[in-house]
Amino acid sequence: MMLRLLSPLRRACCAAAALLIALQAAAQSAPGSSSREDAPRVFIDCQFGCDLQYVKNEVSFVNFVRDRRQAQVYVLLTLIETGGGGGQFTLFFIGQETFEGQADTLVYNAPAASTEGIVREALLGLLKRGLLPYLLQTPLAERLTYSLDGGDGNAALQPDQVRDPWHNWVFSARLNFSADGQESNRSLDVSSFLRAAQVLPAYKVNASAYFSRSASQFFVDQDTFVNLQRSWGANLLYVKSLGQHWSAGLFADYNSSLFQNIRGGYTLLPALEYDLYPYEEATRRQLRFLYRIGPRFNQYVQETVYGFEEELRFRQHLEIGFEQVEPWGSISIELDASHYFHDVNLHNLSINPEIEWNLFKGFNLNFNAYAELSRDQIFLTKGDATPEEVLLQIRQLKTGYFYFLYGGISYTFGSIYNNVVNPRFGR
C-alpha cells in the first residue's frame, strides 16, 4: 500500500522538477533576453553615497559589473558643493575596450532644497542620456525608441544670470543640544552655528559665527569634579577671481576658548592662491598653492608659559593641496606650513594624505592619515596642570605632535556581473 502511494508522489515530484527546468530554460531563451549579451558592460564609480540598487532597477538595458577593468563604459560621478548650499554633480563617461577614446561629461546642479528623491531622479536621467551614445553602437540600437518631452526653448543660463531676489545670498542656522547622565556623571552640551554665503563666478563671500558650551559633572566618593567649556567665534572669507588660475582673498576671524586659554583672538590674513590646473577642472584635479600672511592678536585668560597676558604677532602660512580623481581611484594630499616671524622656532607643519587605489582587478587599497608637528602653542597656560585638568581635559596641554592613521585593503572575486537586485529583508 505504501509503495502505491509513493509511486504517484515520485512521478509528481519528477514532473514538477521537469516543469521548473523547462520554465527556466524558456525564460533564458525568451525573445529579447539574449540581448543582454549585446548590452555594454558598465561600472559606476561614485565618490559619495549612491543608491546603486535603484539605478540597477531602473536601468535594465546594460550589464553592470563590479570591477572597472571589466567595463566597456566607466562612469565616474563626483560631487562638489555650490555657493547656494546645493551640489554640482558631474558624470564623466569614459569609453574602454570597444569604446576606447570615446568620452563625455554631463553636469547637474541641485539646489539646496532638493530632496534625495529629486536628486536621484535627475541623476538617473543624466545617466541614461550619457549611456545613449554607447547603446547606439550596439545591436540594441535597433530596439531603441525615441521621444522628446515638450520644452520651452530656453537657452542655457549662467548661474549668475537668474533673476534672484536674494542676489545669490544663502543663509543657514543650526542649534544642537544633547544631554546624558548616569549615577556617577552627567553632561549637557549646547551649540549653535550661523552662516551667510554668496558665491558668484567673479567672487565669493562666506561669513559664519558659532557658539558652544558644555558642562560635565563627575561624582567620585564625596567629591564632585566639574568640567565647564565655552567657545565662540566668527569667521569671514572673501575671495576675488583673477582668471582661470589665480585668486586673491582675505581671511578674518575672532575666537574665544577657555580650553585654549584665549579670552579673545583676532586674525587678519590677506591671501593669494594659484592653481596649476584651470579652476573649471576642480571636480577632477587640483594643485593649489595658497599663501597667507598677517597679524594675530591674542588676549589670554591666564598668563601664558611665555609670560604674556596679551600679544600681537605676525605669521605666514603656505598650503599646498593636490587632488586627482581617475578611473584607477583617487588621491589627495594637503601640506600646511606656518611660523611666527618673531621666532621661527614657533612653527607648525601638517600633512593629510588620502588614497583610494584599485591596484588590480578586485584589489583595492584605502589609506587616510593626518600628522601635525606642533611647535607654535604660544597660548598655553603657565604652570603645571592638575590631575583633574589632565583627566577631564579642561585645558590644552603641551604636545609636540598629533597624528591619525587609517588603512585597509579589500579583495573581491567571482562573477563580474552585478545586474540582479534583491531587496528582500532590507538592503
pLDDT above 50 for 20: no
CB atoms within 10 A of CB 73: 25
| DSSP letter, residue 7 | H
Q: Which helix (H) or strand (E) holds 82?
A: none
How confident is residue 324, by pLDDT bands cut at 50, 70 and 90?
confident
pLDDT above 50 for 30: no
- The three-state secondary structure class of 8 is helix
State residue 26's pLDDT score.
Answer: 40
State residue 297's pLDDT score.
Answer: 95
Residue written as grid cell 604652570: 383
State residue 24's pLDDT score.
Answer: 44
Sheet of 41-46: strand order equals 63-64, 41-46, 73-81, 87-95, 103-110
pLDDT above 70 for 210: yes
Segment 358-376 shows an average pLDDT of 82
Between 152 and 86, the higher pLDDT residue: 86
What are the cell numbers at 289? Answer: 598653492
What residues contact 354, with CB distance under 8 A and at least 6 apart? 330, 331, 332, 333, 367, 368, 369
pLDDT above 50 for 323: yes
CB atoms within 10 A of CB 36: 15
Mean pLDDT rounded to a whole number for the chain: 79
How confident is residue 388, by pLDDT bands cut at 50, 70 and 90?
low
What residues contact 369, with CB distance under 8 A and at least 6 apart? 351, 352, 353, 354, 403, 404, 405, 406, 407
How confident is residue 387, by pLDDT bands cut at 50, 70 and 90?
low
For residues 250 and 271, give the distance between their C-alpha atoms in angstroms, rounded to a whole number.
6
Between 71 and 162, the higher pLDDT residue: 71
